[in-house]
Chain A
Amino acid sequence: MRFATMTEKHSCELRVPFEHEGEAEVAYNTLKVDPEPPRSGVTKSFLLEKNMLIVTFEAEEARKLRVAVGSSFDLISLVVDTIREFGTTPPT
């Protein structure tokens, strides 16, 4: 995780490694769909680098940045748990 304060804007970058590229891709496809709420004042972008999911946040207010990063964390761990529990298709 990397935090930065550039001039007025606050930003944060999360780098989440997955076991396989396929899993990172599932998480990427799942999480990039919902835009941040319009009034959150946060812009969020997703990037996929092999098995690494990279999420970048930018906001004017640190408080709003924290909220957005926190809720993204919650959703990322939910996706990870879902993959862990339902990812391997049982032998038919």
Chain B
Amino acid sequence: MVVAIGFEGSANKLGVGIVSDGVVLSNVRHTYHAPAGQGFLPRDTAAHHRKHVLDVLRRALDEARVTPADIDCVCFTKGPGMGAPLVSVAVVARTVAQLWRKPLVAVNHCVGHIEMGRLVTGARSPTVLYVSGGNTQVIAYSQQKYRIFGETIDIAVGNCLDRFARVLKLSNDPSPGYNIEQLAKQGTKYVELPYVVKGMDVSFSGILSHIESQGREKLERGECTAADLCYSLQETVFAMLVEITERAMAHCGSQEVLIVGGVGCNVRLQEMMATMAEERGGKVFATDERYCIDNGAMIAQAGWEMFRSGQVARLEDTWITQRYRTDEVEVTWRTD
């Protein structure tokens, strides 16, 4: 039996989770919510993580009913993400690893999402759509790498949604994207927006600028409602994501799509993806908010795989990095 503890804090979610041979023993999360109309800033987010990390760690141990002695490896997010929040959490991981005399495993955040998605859904070798506030990538596995088939060339899709939520002054609790999704359900009129797919890549910054200026004007003139704008934005950006995912599936001959990342809990995105997959005779795998949204268990799960295949980090190599591409990781734990 191998027990892994995972520390995550690359963005506004702080999480500690414990996984033992594919079983999630605990997965505690504490989220920093910026005031409505504002985004979360690195400084405030890091202060939030420092304030709550020891309590979250204690609860994760208690809920899992394990003692430090039961743990085999201490896993933490090396990157990508915001520097100050990453450091705050990595510092605790490094400290307890020394106190408990356990090896450290440095995990790529994106790989954490993929491995958790595979564990929870049982998808074997899916085409992966990873969509969150900081990342937008279409990924497929080939020869010991998670290869990026397509990605955003500017901002992440979640960032586009979050920033539009700020325009509407929607609450950041539980998340701006969730509140957009709820409001979009009342939308009845489609407001035309730019549709920006460039080969296998997508772009969202122009759509955001457009809806921020034109959308706001339409709203003020009473030509549409805030709900109409949320609906139109979702339909447009999700259609773009489904398009590039379908092309990656066709290229790889894959019948499975796995959606991971915070935007992956959006039910409308899951529906649109399911329609596409069914037309191709394929299947969509998605997880709920426990595992879609950043959490500690996903870092523990990826770390568990890495540890078992011998990927441990020397303490001096555990520096965090804001940029860390998914395809930089050697996937030593897969044999296919």
Contacts and interface: CB of A to CB of B under 8 A. Distances in A.
B134 interface: no
Contact of A29 (B68, B83, B88, B98): B98
B91 interface: yes
A5 interface: no
A58 B62 CA distance: 43
Contacts of A78: 50, 53, 88, 91-92
A45 interface: no
Interface in B286-336: 315-316, 318-320
B94 A86 contact: no
B interface, size bucket:
20 to 34
Given A82-B96, A86-B57, A34 B320 contact: yes
Contacts, number: 67
Contacts of A62: none
Nearest to A87: B99
B84 interface: yes
B54 interface: yes
Contact of B54 (A31, A85, A89): A85
Given A34-B320, A81-B54, A86 B96 contact: yes
- Which secondary structure characterizes the binding site on chain A? helix
B87 A89 contact: no
A79 B91 CA distance: 7
B95 interface: yes
B213 interface: no
B98 A30 contact: yes
Nearest to B314: A33
B1 interface: no
A interface, size bucket:
20 to 34
Contacts of A31: 91
Given A26-B99, A87-B99, A34 B90 contact: yes
A19 interface: no
A75 B91 contact: yes
Nearest to B97: A30
Contacts of B90: 33-34
15 contacts: A29-B94, A33-B318, A33-B319, A34-B319, A35-B319, A74-B46, A74-B47, A75-B87, A78-B91, A82-B54, A82-B95, A82-B96, A86-B54, A89-B69, A89-B99
Interface of A: 26-27, 29-31, 33-35, 37, 71, 74-75, 78-79, 81-83, 85-87, 89-90, 92
Ranked nearest first, the 6 interchain pairs of A and B with the lowest CB-CB distance are A30-B94, A82-B95, A26-B98, A30-B95, A34-B319, A33-B319
Interface of B: 46-47, 50, 53-54, 57-58, 67-69, 83-84, 87-88, 90-92, 94-96, 98-100, 315-316, 318-320
Given A82-B99, A92-B69, 9 more contacts: A26-B99, A29-B315, A35-B319, A37-B83, A71-B84, A78-B53, A82-B96, A83-B95, A85-B58
